[in-house]
Amino acid sequence: MKSMVIGGLILIVALMAGTYFVVGDSFTLGDDYINDLTMLAAIAILGITVATALKYINQIKNDTADGELAEENWDGIGEYLNPIPSGWGLLFIGTIIWAFWYWFVGYPTNQFSQIGQWNEETLDHQAKFEEKFKNIDESGLRSMGESVYLVQCAPCHGVDAEGIDGKAQDLTKRISKESVLEVINNGANNFKSVYPGGMPAGMASGADAEELATYVAGGLKGAKPAAWATCSSCHGENGEGMAYVAPNLKVYSNELIATVLKDGKKSTIGEMPSFEGRLSETQVKAVATYLRSIGE
């Protein structure tokens, strides 16, 4: 047993020396009590761990089982009716208590957090940004929108906004004929934030659907198809949409861009992910302004 104790002490010293060699520069006694407490905790944990291991290794080597045997046995192997060691029970209860303290009182819910600090600084910056540009004019919005577009949108839609050979939506046009037919035939409920009702499938079919798709994709110019009456009940006679009912079919409105960026969008090409939280309200409005300008 004496040799085991000596070996354990040597192990503790070696582990602490290794710990200090790796992170010792962070611990200058008296300068930062948090770091000091951390080092003391490390010493305590190492000491307790080694001491506990030595205790049970010694028991395994030297102790013999005794007590009352249970009636049940398996292949001649029985079980003693001994209670669990009191130390184990106390450690188990203490761990549960510590876990509740950690979850509801201790770190990270009530202490410094780099992520929390970053979030606070980001929100503060966004508030300053919104205040600075709250009265920005149309020209300023268009310029800002172009900058945001080139960073956030161009990787998929291309710097010219033409969709990189069909890999993404051609944003120089409000909508393609294929997309209109897809929505007419299968319905859509992409814009949940602003237009929660969505559009049901089968509002037109056959030649009527073809005429409607051509008319909408062409910017609602020329003679209105007979089936347009079905669409105008939600999108309006002029196709400029109705609040909380249906989007504008002529141009990229602020509301449409806002809901696409927040909710994402599925189409015949693929699926656009949500950009929720990436852009401020002013930046969303700026992107919409820029897209309207390149579609003119």
Q: Is the pLDDT of residue 161 over 90?
A: yes
Confidence bin at 145 (pLDDT 50/70/90): very high
DSSP 39-88: HHHHHHHHHHHHHHHHHHHHHHHH----SPEEEEEETTEEEE-PPPPHHH
HEC letters along 153-222? HHHHHCCCCCCCCCCCCCCCCCCCHHHHHHHHHHCECCCCCCCCCCECCCCCCHHHHHHHHHHHHCCCCC
The pLDDT of 185-209, averaged and rounded, is 87
Mean pLDDT of 16-28: 71
pLDDT at residue number 159: 94
**Angle at CA of residue 217, ends 139 and 189, nearest 5°:** 90
Average pLDDT value for residue range 80-84: 82
pLDDT band of 32, cuts 50, 70, 90: low
Give the residue carrying structure tokens 């927040």. 262
Per-residue pLDDT tens digits for 220-248: 988 899 889 889 899 999 999 998 899 99
The rounded percent of the chain whose pLDDT value lies above 70 is 94
Question: How is the chain split into domains, by residue range?
Answer: 1-64, 125-294
- pLDDT at residue 24, rounded to an integer: 65
Q: Does the structure show a pLDDT above 70 at 86? A: yes
Residue 150 banded pLDDT, cuts 50, 70, 90: very high
Q: Is the pLDDT of residue 58 over 90?
A: no
Name which of 26-30, 100-104, 197-201, 250-254 the model is least confident about: 26-30
**What's the mean pLDDT in 256-273?**
88
Examine the pLDDT at 7 and tell me if it is beyond 80: no
Q: What is the mean pLDDT of residues 132-147?
A: 91
Q: Determine the CATH number of domain 125-294.
A: 1.10.760.10
What's the pLDDT band for 108 if we cut at 50, 70, 90?
low
Cα separation of 96 and 94, whole Å? 5
Which candidate, 258, 255, 223, places its Cα nearest to that of 242? 255
pLDDT at 27 exceeding the cut of 90:
no
User: In angstroms, rounded to a whole number, what is the distance separating the alpha carbons of residues 129 and 285?
Assistant: 14
Q: Over 80: is that where the pLDDT of 22 sits?
A: no
Q: What per-residue confidence (pLDDT) applies to 110? A: 60
Q: Which residue has the higher pLDDT, 20 or 236?
A: 236
Average pLDDT of every residue of the chain:
85
The pLDDT score that the predictor gives to residue 296 is 54
More confident residue, 139 or 85: 139
